[in-house]
Amino acid sequence: MKKVLKYNIVASLVIVIALLASCTKDLTQVKLEPEIETSQVEDISSYTAVITGFVVASGDGYSEKGICYNKTGDPTIDDETVVYDGDDSGATFKVTLTGLDYNTTYYARAYGKNSAGVVYGSDTTFTTLPILATLTTADAADITGFAATSGGNITNAGGAAITARGICWSTEPDPDINDTKTEDGVGTGAFNSSMTDLIADTIYYVRAYATNAVGTAYGQEIQFSTLVGIPTVSTVSVTSGETSAVVEGNVSYDGGAGITERGVCYSTSENPTISDNFVTSSGTTGNFSVNLTGLAQNTTYHARAFATNSVGTAYGADISFATYPSELYMTGDGVGLDAENWNWYEPLQLIPVHSHPELFWKIVWMKGSGTFKFAPQAAWSGGDFGKTGDATNGIYAIGSDNIPVPSTAGYYMVVVDFLNGTIEIADPKVYGIGDVFGGWDTYDLSKLFTVDNSNEVIKFNNFPNSGEIRMYAAASTLNCDWWQAEFIVLGGNIEFRGTGNDQTRVNVTAGQSIELNFKLGTGTIAK
């Protein structure tokens, strides 16, 4: 394509020639040969382009001028032409080529006719733009209450690579790729698609789509109706106790037919059904909860929410839970009294946490070597457990392996959390609280007892005030209020509140001290 610079050069040459000729002739005697140029191509689309021609020298004038073009090069007026029919007063002229093929390279040049013949400008090339793809949408098939299939067929890529294809669907007409869609590869040709998680007894609108560099094209819209199906149910959560559990469920859709019954079924085997134990809940759709009672202690159960309509019964996911033991003991060659060696002793009974049946705790003397395990009774009668894997910040996951004691002998806090399935071994923390210690702020370091492992005691020296003494244990996984892990020294023994009511009050005087021997379960209060 010739640029304006060329035209300026040509015009300058004309002027120079005219000046030279003026030395011997009058200007009216100068006659230039006709010349025409192809100037520029603009406004290219998929089917059109605008081409400008430029008259460099008119000679005797032109009886016709325009643009000729083809797909092979060096076009002539024997090829496709567009004749300029506009104003002839200027040097430039523009014509619009129409009816072009998309994504196609063309050659074009300006031409002019006079009495001597045809004058052509130089070739210029341009390529029309691609178009959106052409495709169809396949009819829906394999229709159920919650799924169906469709697809499409891309018969023309539009001159650009297909980078994405699939189907899109909605419960409203004219779905597009901003709605739910599949992604089914690239390229032209037929493809299949699956629609899942549909709502039963519902009309859906579907279109196949194909994306290329131009944009996204869609096939014709089809529609279908899902069948009436079983309900949509989920098992939401479970909270267990010693002999009971609360299970929450949700019926998010009735399947297109009325709910006749809903509830929770449960068993000690996975994926229980309504052929097993079940408890119903009134209502149809929405959230609900049921209480499972009369469960065995320290037992793993499985539960599923269910809902029934005229088509059948649907179930939520299986969720497992374990009831908690009412008692918990520990034994091993690394804990307790010196004589302890995988035998069962009363001092190794863990303390239940008030209002938290999932929690047990104990401050234990550990020997610096050896291991231990737990059981729901002080005997090898089943249900024993230990840890699995390694500890993270002193916290193990409940499992079947023996639990190693720390390498330094002394007192350690042990917390078993059945809800989260963890066992914590940590430095013991005992706090005082109340007027004797100067206030009711919890976890106040000024009220923290001192661990004296060399004398096998945990102690607090010099009570700041007189009054009723109150103490409690704490740990990172002992998630309870202070009073739920409270204990007292009564009659020379450490007495734990556990699941009981307020304990007998013991009064102390300012300046007294307390020593607690958790190894023996004893305590002393003295000056």
Q: H/E/C letters for each residue in 178-225?
A: CCEECCCCCCCEEEEEEECCCCCCCEEEEEEEEECCCCEEECCCEEEE
Using DSSP bridges, classify how beta strands 386-392 and 351-353 pair: parallel, antiparallel or unpaired.
unpaired
**Range with the lowest mean pLDDT among 28-42, 59-73, 85-99, 456-470?**
28-42
Residue 173's contacts (CB-CB under 8 Å, 6 or more residues apart) are 205, 221
- CA-CA distance, 252 to 265, in Å (whole number)? 18
pLDDT of residue 169 exceeding 70: yes
User: How much is the average pLDDT of 375-402?
Assistant: 95
pLDDT at residue 84, as a whole number: 96
Predicted pLDDT of residue 33: 81
Task: Please give the full DSSP string across 233-288, using - where no structure is assigned.
Answer: EEEEEEEE-SS-EEEEEEEEE-TTS---EEEEEEESSSS--TTSEEEE-S-SSEEE
* Residues near 434 by beta carbon (within 8 Å), at least 6 away in sequence: 440, 467, 468, 469, 470
The mean pLDDT of 51-57, rounded to a whole number, is: 94
Largest CA-CA distance found in the chain, in angstroms, rounded: 143
- Percent pLDDT > 70 in the chain is 94
Range with the poorest average pLDDT among 9-13, 119-123, 359-363? 9-13
> What's the pLDDT score for residue 6?
37
pLDDT at 15: 39
Stated as kind and residue range, the H or E segment containing 156 is strand 148-156
Q: Does 443 score more than 80 pLDDT? A: yes
Domains in the chain, CATH or no CATH each: 4-127 (2.60.40.10), 134-225 (2.60.40.10), 232-321 (2.60.40.10), 324-527 (2.60.40.3610)
First to last CA, the chain: 110
What pLDDT, on the 0 to 100 scale, is given for residue 298?
86
Higher pLDDT, 374 or 12: 374
C-alpha separations of 439 from 435, 468, 480 in Å: 5, 12, 19
Tell me the average pLDDT across 215-244: 95
Say if residue 189's pLDDT is above 70.
yes
> Contact 107/80 with Cβ under 8 angstroms?
no
> How much of the chain exceeds pLDDT 90, in percent?
84
CA 303/CA 269 separation, integer angstroms: 9
From residue 12, alpha-carbon distances to 148, 243, 285 in Å are 75, 107, 89
What integer pLDDT is reported at residue 25 of this predicted model?
37
Q: Summarize pLDDT for 296-350 with one digit per residue, the tens.
A: 988 899 999 999 999 999 999 999 998 999 999 999 999 988 777 898 877 799 9
Average pLDDT over residues 265-282: 97
* Residue environment code for 433-450, b if the CB has 16+ CB neighbours within 10 A, otherwise e: beebbeeeeeeeeebebe
pLDDT at 429 over 60: yes
Per-residue pLDDT band at 5 (split at 50, 70, 90): very low
9-18, 116-125, 502-511, range with the lowest pLDDT: 9-18
For residue 13, pLDDT beyond 70: no
Which band of pLDDT confidence, cut at 50, 70 and 90, is reported for residue 32? low
In this prediction, residues 424-451 reach a mean pLDDT of: 97
Rounded to the nearest 10°, the torsion over CA 411, 416, 420, 425 is: 20
Residue 10, pLDDT above cutoff 60: no
Residue 423: pLDDT over 60: yes
Query: Phi-psi category of 61—alpha, beta or left, where left has phi over 0 and alpha has psi -120 to 50?
Result: left
Instruction: Kindly state the average pLDDT of the residues 365-385.
Output: 94
Q: What is the mean pLDDT of residues 472-498?
A: 97
Q: Which of 9-13, 90-94, 340-344, 484-488 has the highest mean pLDDT?
A: 484-488
16 pLDDT band, cuts 50/70/90, is very low
- The verdict on pTM exceeding 0.95 is no
Contacts of 446 (CB under 8 A, 6+ apart): 437, 438
Which two structure tokens, joined as six digits, stand for 463? 């009570």
* Mean pLDDT, all residues of the chain: 92
Closest CA to 359 of 477, 512, 507, 268: 477
> Is the Cβ–Cβ distance between 251 and 232 less than 8 Å?
yes
Mean pLDDT, range 183-205, rounded to an integer: 95
